[in-house]
Structure 1
């Protein structure tokens, strides 16, 4: 795929219950993904490999209109499970050379503190089964715990030589494709009333969040179908950098970010040891649908309990009474901007044009505003002063140019204006807010 394409590419994954005529064509890495540019319809799109962005690694590409459903043979097939040399106490991640091609695997292993963090959460949440999706070292760590069963789903076929089919399957998380027989995994998902399942996924940070979110929802549906449950969510720990929060929230708005900083043993930047460690710690976090109040972070690792938030946070995080939250995310102590009426990074300055605080160097107002979420209509791509939805009311009332655009006061922004309800109807579902203009 051409990484130089500037226009945003949208993706569409294959549905679990699609008929044979509706299914996507497959490459050797499982069902492909439908890509299309934002200005096009799906009929103008093309199918390409879900696992490899580099065409040198997988050159499969097919125009959408050339796909005739099941008339074209599918390339992928169920593979035979390799001969296993099981050694229960052996952790191959301690001696295997990590696959380091970022376009494909980006294989990094959690450090001991991160492993202990996940084990602590399993104990606090009374988790009995863990699906380790792209987290091999965690699987080998948990399998030594007699109270927790673990199943590894991973794109590295080398683990098939160390694990039996009852705890490993060669797997593509970008399209939810099982290369080996899926039955052992389905058996693992069968639970009694006292068992609970957690999914821990650590995808390469270059993965499309739409695809990972689609896979997580597919695994939830499979779990519910096997156990005869209604729409019941599974606990999720999605490991990703904090600065990808907007992308994850677009696809899974129910996920919140935990303040725990994860480190890897073999990453040059996402670590807390060595000369290349970051001064504010690793940017890698855990996004989860588990209430943050239920998670336990260790004080001896640099965390504290906030009585106001009723959750653990970093020692550098200072509770803001105005925001009623511990707002810092990047390991610094945030400050509250009275103009934005929100907490920002300490080195940020306020831009009157953007109506936000931002970095001083490299700040381009047009580009910055195109990535912002409007506090009036809730749509991304503009700030409040350029909101077309709000401009619909201009002929009905005087529009304020200073302070809050709704009431004109300078003590708050449109997000916190008490008069919002007169003009906007808001509803929330699973952490996502939908805003509509009221008809007057």
Structure 2
């Protein structure tokens, strides 16, 4: 399936605040093919039915058994990864291994079960740069990952630091998160929101939230939402900025809606005299989407800067 926006398929907002049915990636989006066409729900994150087969007509009645089956499928593996992170924290470095086949850090008791796989010992430096250890996701119709070069990431961080920002909300920008954690001299804090759950092996729950930016869904529920709110709260001269790097073919309207919700959360946490201020946002996206972005977020303006990616030729 191509980008729905190029096929005359529009994302529409459900009327009356009706809750959308859920797929494994959280609440689905409501689409309409052509003006007045029949509406249907489909996955917010995947543009190919091979990656997420969810499809439901808006007026379709779903049985209780089917709903329960969906809930079972939708259970996140977040807690499993959280437990793994906590257990690995107490394991000696020389006993830690990484399975390249499973893309997983291994506990000592798991080494035998992965003996036929490609495994390697990991260094402290690799644990601090998980984006160099993990294989980038490469499905262009769902979750393709393109990672900033260190040059581009450092330029962004230097620019933000010069503007006085002390907290960076990294939405789909794991490389940015890494460099902030590495360079303590910047005195910056960061929180990574990303749909790639593999990062939960490397970061605490206060550093990473499993998140779908196309529907503002936190797979960790209220606990993860609370982490975001705590991070967005500015105290003692702190200044927050959001840097988002969505997949290139992502739908603009759902992304803008999610970023607006984050901005509103930030605004609600500010003092009353700052209530009219917009949350600072850097949205990295192909330049030809500018008209669509301005339709949704007219307060943004395009900057003449091109970022470079390690795994994508521009």
TM-score where L is the length of structure 1: 0.55
- Where do residues 353-392 of structure 1 align in structure 2 (5 Å cutoff)? none
- Where do residues 209-358 of structure 1 align in structure 2 (5 Å cutoff)? 209-227=252-270, 229=272, 230-267=275-312, 269-270=313-314
Query: How has the CA–CA distance of structure 1 residues 249 and 4 changed in structure 2, closer, same or farther, with 3 Å as cutoff?
Result: closer
Out of 46, 56, 59, the residue aligned to residue 53 of structure 2 is 59
In structure 2, what is the equivalent of residue 115 of structure 1? 153
How much has 1:241 moved relative to structure 2?
A: 1.4
The answer as to 2:35 corresponding to 1:39 is yes
Which SS does the other structure have where 1:247 is aligned?
helix
Which SS does the other structure have where 2:169 is aligned?
strand
Query: How has the CA–CA distance of structure 1 residues 262 and 102 changed in structure 2, closer, same or farther, with 3 Å as cutoff?
Result: same
Which SS does the other structure have where 2:128 is aligned?
coil
Which SS does the other structure have where 1:240 is aligned?
coil
Contact kept in structure 2, 1:129 and 1:149, CA below 8 Å: yes
Q: State how far apart, in whole Å, the 2-side matches of 1:196 and 1:23 are.
A: 34
In structure 1, what is the equivalent of residue 246 of structure 2? 203
Query: How has the CA–CA distance of structure 1 residues 236 and 264 changed in structure 2, closer, same or farther, with 3 Å as cutoff?
Result: same
Contact kept in structure 1, 2:128 and 2:182, CA below 8 Å: no
Question: Would you say how many aligned residue pairs link Structure 1 and Structure 2?
Answer: 262
Segment of structure 1 superposing worse, 49-58 or 237-246: 237-246
Out of 162, 185, 190, the residue aligned to residue 202 of structure 2 is 162
Segment of structure 1 superposing worse, 202-211 or 223-232: 223-232
How much has 1:178 moved relative to structure 2?
A: 0.7
Query: How has the CA–CA distance of structure 1 residues 198 and 3 changed in structure 2, closer, same or farther, with 3 Å as cutoff?
Result: closer
Q: State how far apart, in whole Å, the 2-side matches of 1:81 and 1:186 are.
A: 24
Greater RCO structure (CA 8 Å; 6+ sep) = 2
The answer as to 2:47 corresponding to 1:48 is no
The runs of 5 or more residues in structure 1 that have no matched partner are: 271-440
Which SS does the other structure have where 2:308 is aligned?
coil
Contact kept in structure 1, 2:165 and 2:241, CA below 8 Å: yes
Deviations for 1:185-243, whole angstroms, at most 9, x for unmatched residues? 22222221511111111111110011110010010112223446534311111111112
Contact kept in structure 1, 2:170 and 2:191, CA below 8 Å: yes
RMSD: 2.7
In structure 1, what is the equivalent of residue 115 of structure 2? none
Query: How has the CA–CA distance of structure 1 residues 187 and 248 changed in structure 2, closer, same or farther, with 3 Å as cutoff?
Result: same
Q: State how far apart, in whole Å, the 2-side matches of 1:34 and 1:173 are.
A: 16
In structure 1, what is the equivalent of residue 114 of structure 2? none
Query: How has the CA–CA distance of structure 1 residues 5 and 23 changed in structure 2, closer, same or farther, with 3 Å as cutoff?
Result: closer
Contact kept in structure 1, 2:42 and 2:55, CA below 8 Å: yes
Contact kept in structure 2, 1:205 and 1:240, CA below 8 Å: yes
Query: How has the CA–CA distance of structure 1 residues 228 and 67 changed in structure 2, closer, same or farther, with 3 Å as cutoff?
Result: farther
In structure 2, what is the equivalent of residue 29 of structure 1? 25
Mark the structure with the bigger radius of gyration.
1
How much has 1:266 moved relative to structure 2?
A: 1.1
Larger helix share, 1 or 2: 2
In structure 1, what is the equivalent of residue 94 of structure 2? none
How much has 1:38 moved relative to structure 2?
A: 3.2
Query: How has the CA–CA distance of structure 1 residues 67 and 259 changed in structure 2, closer, same or farther, with 3 Å as cutoff?
Result: farther
Query: How has the CA–CA distance of structure 1 residues 97 and 224 changed in structure 2, closer, same or farther, with 3 Å as cutoff?
Result: same
Contact kept in structure 1, 2:5 and 2:251, CA below 8 Å: no
Query: How has the CA–CA distance of structure 1 residues 170 and 123 changed in structure 2, closer, same or farther, with 3 Å as cutoff?
Result: same
Deviations for 1:3-56, whole angstroms, at most 9, x for unmatched residues? 6997411113579xx86xx21111110000000023116xx3111100111101
The runs of 5 or more residues in structure 2 that have no matched partner are: 90-123
Q: State how far apart, in whole Å, the 1-side matches of 2:139 and 2:208 are.
A: 22
The answer as to 2:189 corresponding to 1:144 is no
Segment of structure 1 superposing worse, 143-152 or 129-138: 143-152
